Structure 1
């Protein structure tokens, strides 16, 4: 019987990986999306163990070093640039002694800027007006099947979508909404592909997100545009929403390889 979480903690820094982490490009490998959420969860746990002022995560830049299997992983964190109101933290997800994902995150103190708040980002369509997506049928793997998805697509490469997870990030733990939502961000690249995944490889090498604020609620909205160049590069750009509106903007750099070469 599958575990109803992506991960289960086995000690302070090690996690068992479950079938819900199963990848879409190769079902013998892990999808990186849940690991991104796990890394932010561990950054926040490390922060709260070191200090009591709950600095906000305002940017996270994930680099994917390589593939990794559905086996135990470990996470380590370190402060690269300490500070009273701003700090830079790095976290690494490793398997069998090899780094698979490394993230650098800026954390900063918040200030009351209510009188200055302004936003020109377009609102998302209501998910109540969207059909349930075929996302889980378009891609293989347990990770894709672990989320509920609705989508409104203008054309391949341009769509608005809503997702929410059906399983927990870490068994028996309560991550922040920010960590839980971050565990869904990487799905953006597969929600409205410009080419069929059976014909073209277009995995992302990284993901960088700038957070405007902490998200709220269960549902994550994606306003996504995918661009392919003529020289084998691409970009998936997404404005991320919750029920209160946009809260983050992210980009994923792609390697685009026709013929799945």
Structure 2
């Protein structure tokens, strides 16, 4: 199946009349749509957009690297005008923190904050003599596996989701995972994050990492929903190459909430880990 013909996940626009020009303004395209509802965005594209904003707010020559990024979803990220603004709560030469917020414009013209990110950046230096990674590279890279637009049949997700919305704009390649019978899936977004721009490898990775919550669940959406409220990623190095490997598994507790944990890779090896909190809701109980 071919990817839908969209130009990007977000189109940059001028500030609507009367709105604060200190923000960047974007119009989401239908390529961002969630599997849960056609009225909201999948968590991946807004996460990528906020990471892009944080990258643009810092000096790339200061020697620091993004080491931990937390995305908090404060409400439904809608398809109206989105605007983004960044701050640097903690400047520093060795350690700094950068933050960004995404607001969504409602039908009445007012904005509400729908998502917030914070990231720690640490000064890079040579620690290769003590490098110690918890996992070797995935057995096969994406070029050694069959590739699909959307999720292949070998990935245990609901059939209706395989090409829906944002998922239908991503190229995937799957192999057996290491986490309790999961599939490890290589993912690469097929569209620019923002029209007219080249997406950085860091922003491309964060555009797809939110998918870990769906990949690791192993639940039937006819019976359960498991929408995540956050994504936290710890990196041991910066992603390269545009592909992100996700080996994910959900730990579902007895009290209506769960956590999805994932090992992350790029084509050179282990990259870091992600964790996501999810609210478990029985569909029949609604």
**TM-score of the aligned structures, taking structure 1 as reference length:** 0.91
Query: Which region of structure 1 is more displaced relative to structure 2, 251-260 or 90-99?
Result: 251-260
Q: Output the CA distance in 2 between the equivalents of 1:156 and 1:121.
A: 15
Note if 1:5 corresponds to 2:16.
Answer: no
Q: CA deviation at 1:192?
A: 3.8
Structure 1 residues 245 and 138, CA gap change in structure 2 (3 angstroms): farther
Q: CA deviation at 1:209?
A: 0.3
Aligned length: 259
Q: Which residue of 2 aligns with 1:143?
A: 166
Contact in 1 for aligned 2:77/2:115 (Cα 8 Å): no
Q: Which residue of 2 aligns with 1:46?
A: 57
Structure 1 residues 156 and 191, CA gap change in structure 2 (3 angstroms): farther
Q: CA deviation at 1:145?
A: 0.5
Q: Which residue of 2 aligns with 1:176?
A: 200
Note if 1:16 corresponds to 2:30.
Answer: no
Q: CA deviation at 1:55?
A: 2.1
| Gap runs ≥5 in structure 1 | none
| Gap runs ≥5 in structure 2 | 15-22, 106-110
Q: Which runs of 4+ in 1 moved over 4 A?
A: 129-132, 153-157
Q: CA deviation at 1:156?
A: 8.9
Alpha carbon RMSD of aligned pairs, Å? 2.2
Q: CA deviation at 1:198?
A: 2.2
Contact in 2 for aligned 1:78/1:89 (Cα 8 Å): yes
Structure 1 residues 141 and 54, CA gap change in structure 2 (3 angstroms): farther
Q: CA deviation at 1:150?
A: 2.4
1:64-99 CA-partner distances (Å, limit 9, x unpaired): 001022222011111111111111111101012111
Q: Output the CA distance in 2 between the equivalents of 1:191 and 1:74.
A: 29
Q: Output the CA distance in 2 between the equivalents of 1:54 and 1:112.
A: 12
Contact in 1 for aligned 2:137/2:268 (Cα 8 Å): no
